[in-house]
A and B are shown apart, each in its own frame.
Chain A
Amino acid sequence: MSKIIIGRYIPGDSIIYKMDPRGKIIATFLFIVIIFLANNWLSYLFLSVFTLLAVWATKLKPKVFWDGVKPLIWLILFTSVLQLFFTTGGKIYWHWGILNISEYGIQNSIFIFIRFVMIILISTVLTLTTTSLEIADGMEWILKPLGYLKVPVAQIALVMSIALRFVPILLDQAVRIMNAQRARGADFNSGGLIKRIHSIIPILIPLFIGSLTIAIDLATAMEARGYREGAKRTRYRVLKWSKYDWINLGYFTLLTLILLLTRTY
């Protein structure tokens, strides 16, 4: 259970790990935009090669990437099959009612498939090599301009990093409460939906009270340590931009240029 919520960071020390989270987040967003430039076989080929190289550069086992794709595989296949049957154009190979398999249909469904998988792979590269705290720090920097609109970015970031820090503790509490309920004969794994929801309520209530206690304690401790809401603070943890981040951005800029050159207009 903890795997899903905490994110799936896997410690490592390849070049991707040395990159700044800001660069990685920007590159991921850039990738999701430029992926729509690809529209022919050659551009899709370059897109795939660049993505797979990035995957390879993490030096992580292919299995962990497959774990990223697996939960979505039915959605991807379903979308691809829809494309396959409903796109018309080019040579028609098969035809039945409103369904048909055409030249364009085959091509589009393969393109959609590649597009999906590549987006998942690139975002998996980000989440596997970046801790949730780094992502929160990176997002804080990226969202900084919102500060001019009076959005309390620094406060939101502090709340985020504290929330991230308490996820394992709350999970721990949830497991403990579940075990306590189980010891009293509760059964969480059988029965219909209604019954299951019923058996979850006795977990949620103590969990909710537990988090309130944590929140009150934490607020007191923060105040005792001189935290003033809305006051200026200095920062101990800072992000450092290095040559690896230029490599990162350079890599994706190069991909953008190649896609612009190879796509059909």
Chain B
Amino acid sequence: MKDNIVTVQHLSFTYKDTKHPAVNDVSFNIPKGSWTTLVGHNGSGKSTIARLLDGILLPDENSETLIQIDGITLNEKTMWDIRDKVGIVFQNPDNQFVGATVEDDVAFGLENRQVPRLKMQTIVHDVINQVGMLKFQKSEPQYLSGGQKQRVAIAGILAIGPKLIILDESTSMLDPAGKDKILALIRKVQKENGLTIFSITHDINEASQADQILVLNQGTLLASGSPIEIFKDESLIKSAGLELPLFYKVKNKLIKRGITVPQEIDNEKKLVNYLCQLNLKM
């Protein structure tokens, strides 16, 4: 498909010395410019998928397997081109901070791509500004909070000018306020840079705001669709170890009781309005 930035077909992966595949015949698409979340319980293979998309792991041999990112088919030869298009923000803020200071860390990816120093300086300054860390440009990581380190990680990725950002539980080690700030920042840079976001999360609220949800269970894809579609079936979300947001629980219960609630109602306010109108008609 032309409008998909990521196309994955029949993707399987088995870790060395293990019997069962961690990812088993998974196929999905990620539309360009979308926010797609991947949910699943611990050990269901989410991080493995993130690593496969970036070519850090190579899929099990299978002639039907296809990973295509921004028109490039991933294989050993295109691995490095793919990494120019994909950036990953990992879970632990400390274990991805390579540089000695904020600016050094942001420059790491540029150094790897042999960008000349003068050009590096402009880019580094720009992206640090974009994530609001200019005041900390020369700071060492031990003086930064977890959220600030994640901002630096995002800046380091933006510096490369990627098309797709993968968040592998990037906010799970932050406090609720820090989490919201990072998500808001990602929404901002997504808009500013026209990015696609692929977010692995255990946060149901984040998932409910996504354009597309993928549900993974023991390495296989159970379902994919919009939050409204996915949340219709409570057992689906339960299988990912998550709880439905209260609003969807209420909506599902109403439908079960035989009250018609239109699909497009996707928040509390709309539901309340709709129920009031229904009440008036009765």
Q: Which residues of A contact B (CB under 8 A)?
A: 133, 161-162, 164-165, 168-169, 213-214, 217-218, 220-228, 231-238
Contact = CB atoms under 8 A, between A and B. Distances in A.
A235 B111 contact: yes
Interface of B: 51, 54, 56, 80, 83-84, 86-88, 90, 92, 94-100, 103-104, 107-117, 120-121, 124, 140-142, 156-157, 160
Given A213-B95, A225-B87, A228-B112, 18 more contacts: A133-B100, A162-B98, A165-B97, A168-B142, A217-B90, A217-B95, A221-B96, A224-B88, A224-B90, A225-B157, A226-B84, A226-B109, A231-B112, A233-B112, A234-B120, A235-B117, A236-B104, A237-B100
Given A165-B141, A236-B120, A237-B104, A220 B114 contact: no
B87 A227 contact: no
B114 A228 contact: no
B94 A214 contact: yes
Contact of A223 (B56, B97, B99, B110): B56
Contacts of B97: 165
Contacts of A165: 97-100, 140-141
B261 to A, nearest CB: 43
B87 A222 contact: no
B120 A224 contact: no
Given A161-B100, A214-B95, A224-B88, A234 B54 contact: no
A170 to B, nearest CB: 11
B111 A233 contact: yes
A217 B96 contact: yes
Most-contacted residue by chain A among B56, B98, B114, B117 (CB, 10 A): B98
Contacts of B83: 224-226
A117 to B, nearest CB: 32
B141 to A, nearest CB: 7
A227 B90 contact: no
A226 B56 contact: no
Contact of B107 (A169, A223, A236): A236
Contacts of A231: 112
Nearest to B47: A220
B111 A236 contact: yes
A220 B97 CA distance: 12
Given A218-B98, A224-B87, A234 B116 contact: yes
Nearest to B86: A224
A164 B56 CA distance: 26
A15 B95 CA distance: 36
Contacts of A164: 100
Given A213-B95, A217-B90, A234-B120, A225 B114 contact: no
A225 B109 contact: yes
| A133, A161, A217, A234: residue with the most chain B Cβ atoms closer than 10 Å | A234
Given A226-B83, A236-B107, A238-B117, A169 B94 contact: yes
B22 to A, nearest CB: 15
In order of increasing CB-CB distance, the 10 nearest A-B pairs are A217-B95, A236-B107, A221-B96, A226-B112, A225-B109, A233-B111, A168-B142, A133-B100, A224-B88, A234-B114
A227 B103 contact: no
Contacts of A226: 80, 83-84, 109, 112-113, 160
Nearest to B143: A168
Nearest to A172: B142
A225 B160 CA distance: 9
Contacts of A235: 111, 117
9 contacts: A221-B95, A223-B56, A224-B87, A225-B87, A225-B160, A227-B108, A234-B116, A235-B111, A237-B104
Contacts of B156: 225
A225 B113 CA distance: 9
A218 B96 contact: yes
A37 B60 CA distance: 69
Which has the most chain B C-beta neighbours within 10 Å: A161, A221, A224, A231?
A224
